[in-house]
Structure 1
Amino acid sequence: MGDKLIGRIDLDGLQVFDAVMREGSVTRAADSLALTQSAVSHALARLRLILKDPLFVRTAGGVKPTPRAINLWDEVQDALQVLRRAVLPGEFDPFTARGTITLAVNDMIAQLLMPKLVQQLQDQAPHLRLSMPMRTFGESELRLEQGTLDFGLGLFYALQPSLRRRSLWTDDYVCLCRRGHPALAKPWTLEAFQAVHQVGVSPNGDLFTYADGALRYAGIERTVTILVSHFSCVPPMLQGTDLMALMPRFYAGAVADHYGLALLDPPFTLSPVKYELVWHERSERVASHVWLREQLVTALGRTEP
């Protein structure tokens, strides 16, 4: 749309269009907006003229949107939602809310913890879209600063002062390997751990993984011979090989039985890892974001004070 076209479309007209799309009827749309049918019809007539499209076709049960109207509606809903948040930041009705919220997570968290959140959103906010791009170190933080990402969930280190964080749960690392692995029949020492070939997980392909960060802090090196970008790749690799992986305990416990794997505590002490929810200060009081933060806490059910 050019600037002249945008200038000719008023906010009232877009709200009328949105209401007719939602209700599928001019009469019901007029009732929902507390307008006369004549006012709704005139608003639609203006939009038809400006957009050069009929937008709706009359049917026995109401009106049917044209392909142009269907394509336009997603953008109109998102734009209206942004405007409503800006003008009425304290008002938020999840059941009628529309728009998209982006939450960066890795595949491990998406696989094990997000299904419960998705169910909550389906029940309480059926029109709200949740986009979950891959959480990658550095890039997610940059996107939060730029405003192209709403939340990040995972392990975070030093953050810019403009980013807010909330602790969700703390976990520790365990060694994961196949049942019958040769290491299980020998003394489990630091030297034995370092001698075993291991699988490392790095979403952005860096050789230095989160687990290696914890190890290096403890002054320990390991032998990584396979590096993958997804946690879900690891269990099948361990199932039929003598490889080992250093995994978060909550994930290792969830997949061990299915793949016939064994959990082994490391022969040394590592600092626990803290999973956090991170967002930018600009959205600190945005009602929809406040609501989603609480949904995440409820869905995960492992929140710390």
Structure 2
Amino acid sequence: MNLLVVLDALLDERHISRAANRLAMTQPAVSHALNRLRELIGDPLLVRVGNEMRLTAKAATLIGPLTEALSHVRKVVMSGPFEPVNCQRTFRLGMSDYGSAVVLPRLLQCVRVEAPGVNLVVSQSSRLEMLRQVAESELDGGIGVFPLLPEELESDLLFQERFVLVTDRRNLTPPTGLSLSDYLAAPHIHVSTQAMHHSHVDNALTARGLKRRIAVLVPHFTVAAELLVGTDLLLTIAARAINIEKISPNLVVLEPPFAIPNFDFVSIWRAGADRNLELAWLRSSIRAIGL
């Protein structure tokens, strides 16, 4: 039974050190258990590919039956249901600074009250990299915009977001707003963690046969608005990225002069993550934030 518990952690974490931390075991002890499992099952289970450990085909087929079997065992031996207050685990989540600004404050309030023994490690990477990290268990979950998901991932809708336009007040002539021709003639600042690529805004313009000039590309949502002060730049950005109460009084927030479709902001998880009671709790906590 002890070996099965180690196997469950290894299949989920796909990393010996992380599995050791999760099980409160030493790394050599987990490595020894993995060697015994390889002998018993007759398969390498985890193989190194470059800098990563990946599951063999045999190991992948064990995930479902093993999770189900351990779930039944836990129901037999546990004196009560899962209690977040007793959870001692480090969760790894991927999100941009926008996600951190919008989701993390309420999530931390929940975690500190319900599960004070839980640790959170937040990282940021590109959309494709985050999908890979969640699919390969390097991250427990991710939060962001993911229009297309591979089959091994699931998502929960957190909210729908709209776009607003931000600029220095001195750029408004007349002071009531900007026309579409003004918008297209102006230089723009764009936020992206990747190289230049078509965003929701650019896709909406392209659909109308239009194009804007991106003069400045930055990777952080939380600083983008302040960069506008004293410039002729325009910023078209997700509405929740702008804190109206804290931005400079020199800036003005407007509706864009053309229609931009809203987008879904979601959390993503490996399929079957809910079979793990700790992950199921974290997932439901994020889903219940009510943004």
TM-score when scaled to structure 1?
A: 0.67
Report the Cα offset of residue 281 of structure 1.
0.5
Give the equivalent residue in structure 2 for 1:108: 98
Question: What are structure 2's unaligned runs of at least 5 residues?
Answer: 3-17, 31-65, 76-80
In 1, the alpha carbon distance for the partners of 2:141 and 2:237 equals: 24
In 1, the alpha carbon distance for the partners of 2:275 and 2:210 equals: 43
Give the equivalent residue in structure 2 for 1:56: none
1:79 has 2:23 as partner: yes
Give the equivalent residue in structure 2 for 1:278: 268
Report the Cα offset of residue 207 of structure 1.
4.0
Give the equivalent residue in structure 2 for 1:155: 145
* Residue 259 of structure 1, aligned match among 248, 252, 259: 248
Report the Cα offset of residue 113 of structure 1.
2.9
1:25-80 deviation digits (Å, cap 9, x = unpaired): xxxxxxxxxxxxxxxxxxxxxxxxxxxxxxxxxxxxxxxxxxxxxxxxx9755125
8 Å contact kept, 1:102–1:150: yes
Give the equivalent residue in structure 2 for 1:177: 167
Count of paired positions: 229
In 1, the alpha carbon distance for the partners of 2:215 and 2:172 equals: 18
Which residue type is aligned with residue 79 of structure 1? L
In 2, the alpha carbon distance for the partners of 1:151 and 1:98 equals: 18
Report the Cα offset of residue 259 of structure 1.
1.6
Mark the CA change 1:186 to 1:298 in structure 2 (over 3 Å): closer, same or farther: closer
Which residue type is aligned with residue 126 of structure 1? P
1:164 has 2:108 as partner: no
8 Å contact kept, 1:135–1:152: no
In 2, the alpha carbon distance for the partners of 1:243 and 1:256 equals: 21
Question: What are structure 1's unaligned runs of at least 5 residues?
Answer: 1-9, 12-73
Which residue type is aligned with residue 248 of structure 2? Y
Report the Cα offset of residue 144 of structure 1.
1.5
In 2, the alpha carbon distance for the partners of 1:223 and 1:264 equals: 19
Identity between Structure 1 and Structure 2 (%): 23
In 2, the alpha carbon distance for the partners of 1:234 and 1:184 equals: 24
Give the equivalent residue in structure 2 for 1:139: 129
Report the Cα offset of residue 242 of structure 1.
1.6
In 2, the alpha carbon distance for the partners of 1:243 and 1:263 equals: 13
TM-score when scaled to structure 2?
A: 0.70
Give the equivalent residue in structure 2 for 1:47: none
In 1, the alpha carbon distance for the partners of 2:235 and 2:139 equals: 31
8 Å contact kept, 1:175–1:245: yes
Give the equivalent residue in structure 1 for 2:231: 241
State the structure with more CA Rg: 1
Alignment root-mean-square deviation, CA: 2.9
